[in-house]
């Protein structure tokens, strides 16, 4: 699919001083940054609450005497809640607003933190992890959507990537928290009590998120769908300045007037392609294997000979690399564009996965595996992690952006669940050749990296510097 129509639109916008050109007079970058950071706290909790399981799963496995399938279920049950939360948040954010959905997710984060710290059995643990999943799923679509809708086009990729920065910051933060908590006692203490403190620590960022949300506005695009133009204009003026705000207000109003109000509209000719591409990108982000390393890293390292402390410390290194390359992505996504980063990152991930698979087959040393894992994490953090969310937040029509993004995100979480549930089963059950089965999952994920490259190369247009309205016109032309 050619990018020529979109490139022409970008040139026109830049020539007229619009979103593709210089910063409009009177706009406040500080204001945009502050409200985006508050929304991105949802991303931080997304990362914190999903990755906390990495430090706790081994202790939880012993405490509740879990089988391989039960271990996979304990690690992945949250993801079923994520899928449901994403779907409910999509329809709810279109009906009641992005901010209200974020407020509800903050409350769920807090309740689930307390509940997962105090379960008497696996069933109780699963119930509260499902509640956590509802919150994560809601935040996973609403935080980037909120940021995209309040950010000017010239920095929208960078601002939405801040949400990915928050996600990996949450992961790194919880890796440190898990390491610190695990060092407070011996193995027996961690199996009985330490893992409970790991989950209880989630309550602190949840309270911070809830309080900060009280001070941010609703997005101007949602306000316009609810016929509240004066409120929308005030926010746009703070973002873009008075002159540019009026122009953008007209563009958004015109776009909304020509949009349908049902999810079924996405299946009409012209719009069907964007739905299929969005779903494919969401699924491929997960089936390339990222959460195997984020959820099971300590277990992987321990199987290769590391003690508990060393395995948790190596997981911190994984989180640090994830954070570092996400920062690089934030500063390059609006310079290099979405497509080059996606292709480069997917290629790097594929190469590293093949190497990890070979190292697993040959049972190479920890150094080999750690080096390849860090290379994989760096490639993911540079591109497929943040840029997928940027694209998903950009490509859908305004009025049904919540529901359509929700559908793609539900598919993302479903893929995440399948990967997280099946990895321990593939790794612990040698139903393939004994010398091959440990590497099989990594070879499979590498194949999906190749598929990602093909999809992006052929079907995903470059959206760098485009207004959301021009992207919408591109798909519907």
Which residue matches tokens 């910051």? 169
Record the tokens describing residue 80, joined without a space: 């079923």
pLDDT digits (tens, 9 = 90+) for 161-183: 788 789 889 988 998 899 899 99
Q: 155-166 as b/e, with b when 16 or more CB fall inside 10 Å?
A: bbbbbbbbbbbb
Q: Flag whether pLDDT at 208 surpasses 70.
A: yes
- What are 54-90's pLDDT values in tens digits? 889 889 989 999 887 788 788 888 988 988 898 888 7
219-223, 265-269, 388-392, 467-471, range with the lowest pLDDT: 265-269
Residue ranges and CATH numbers for the domains of the chain are 4-476 (1.20.1250.20)
Q: What is the mean pLDDT of residues 286-310?
A: 72
CA angle 25, 29, 30 (to 5 degrees): 130
Q: Look at residue 17 and tell me whether its pLDDT is greater than 60.
A: no
pLDDT tens sequence across 27-49: 688 898 999 999 999 999 999 99
Does residue 409 contact residue 393 with C-beta atoms inside 8 Å?
Answer: no
In tens, the pLDDT along 349-398 reads: 999 999 888 877 776 555 677 788 889 999 998 889 888 888 887 877 66
The mean pLDDT value for 264-274 works out to 69
Residue with tokens 């009590």: 193
> Which of the two residues, 397 and 160, has the higher pLDDT score?
160
Question: Structure pTM?
Answer: 0.74
Q: Determine the pLDDT at residue 23.
A: 43
**Whether residue 299 has pLDDT greater than 90:** no
């Amino acid at each position: 699919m050619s990018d020529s129509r979109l490139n022409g639109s970008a040139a026109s916008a830049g020539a007229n001083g619009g979103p593709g050109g210089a910063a409009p007079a009177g706009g406040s970058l500080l204001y945009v940054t502050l409200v985006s950071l508050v929304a991105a706290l949802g991303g931080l909790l997304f990362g914190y609450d999903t990755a906390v399981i990495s430090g706790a799963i081994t202790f939880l496995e012993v405490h509740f005497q879990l089988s391989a399938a039960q271990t996979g279920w304990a690690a992945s049950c949250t993801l079923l809640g994520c899928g449901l939360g994403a779907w409910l948040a999509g329809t709810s954010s279109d009906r009641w607003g992005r901010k209200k959905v974020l407020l509800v997710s903050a409350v769920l984060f807090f309740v689930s933190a307390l509940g997962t710290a105090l379960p008497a059995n696996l069933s109780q643990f699963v119930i509260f992890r499902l509640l956590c999943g509802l919150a994560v799923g809601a935040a996973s679509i609403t935080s980037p959507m909120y940021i995209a809708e309040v950010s000017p086009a010239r920095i929208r990729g960078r601002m939405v990537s801040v949400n990915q920065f928050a996600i990996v910051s949450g992961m790194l933060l919880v890796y440190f928290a898990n390491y610190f908590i695990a060092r407070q006692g011996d193995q027996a203490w961690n199996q009985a009590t330490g893992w409970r403190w790991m989950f209880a620590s989630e309550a602190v960022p949840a309270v911070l998120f809830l309080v900060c949300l009280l001070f941010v506005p609703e997005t101007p695009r949602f306000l316009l769908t609810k016929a509240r133009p004066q409120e929308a204009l005030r926010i746009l003026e703070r973002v873009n300045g008075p002159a540019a705000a009026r122009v953008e207000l007209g563009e958004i109003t015109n776009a909304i007037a020509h949009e349908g109000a049902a999810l079924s509209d996405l299946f009409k000719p012209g719009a069907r392609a964007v739905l299929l591409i969005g779903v494919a990108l969401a699924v491929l982000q997960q089936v390339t294997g990222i959460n195997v390393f984020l959820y099971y890293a300590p277990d992987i390292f321990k199987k290769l000979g590391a003690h508990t402390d060393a395995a948790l410390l190596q997981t911190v290194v994984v989180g640090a690399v994830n954070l570092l390359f996400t920062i690089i992505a934030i500063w390059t996504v609006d310079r290099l564009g979405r497509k080059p980063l996606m292709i480069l990152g997917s290629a790097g991930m594929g190469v590293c996965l093949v190497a990890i698979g070979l190292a697993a087959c040959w049972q190479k040393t920890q150094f080999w595996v750690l080096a390849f894992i860090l290379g994989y994490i760096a490639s993911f953090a540079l591109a497929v992690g943040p840029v997928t969310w940027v694209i998903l937040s950009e490509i859908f029509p305004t009025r049904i952006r919540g529901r359509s993004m929700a559908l793609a995100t539900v598919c993302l979480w479903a893929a995440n669940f399948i990967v997280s549930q099946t990895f321990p089963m593939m790794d612990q059950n040698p139903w393939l050749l004994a010398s091959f089965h440990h590497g099989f999952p990594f070879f499979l994920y590498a194949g999906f990296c190749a598929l990602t490259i093909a999809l992006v190369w052929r079907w995903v247009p470059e959206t760098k510097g485009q207004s959301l309205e021009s992207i919408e016109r591109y798909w519907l032309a």
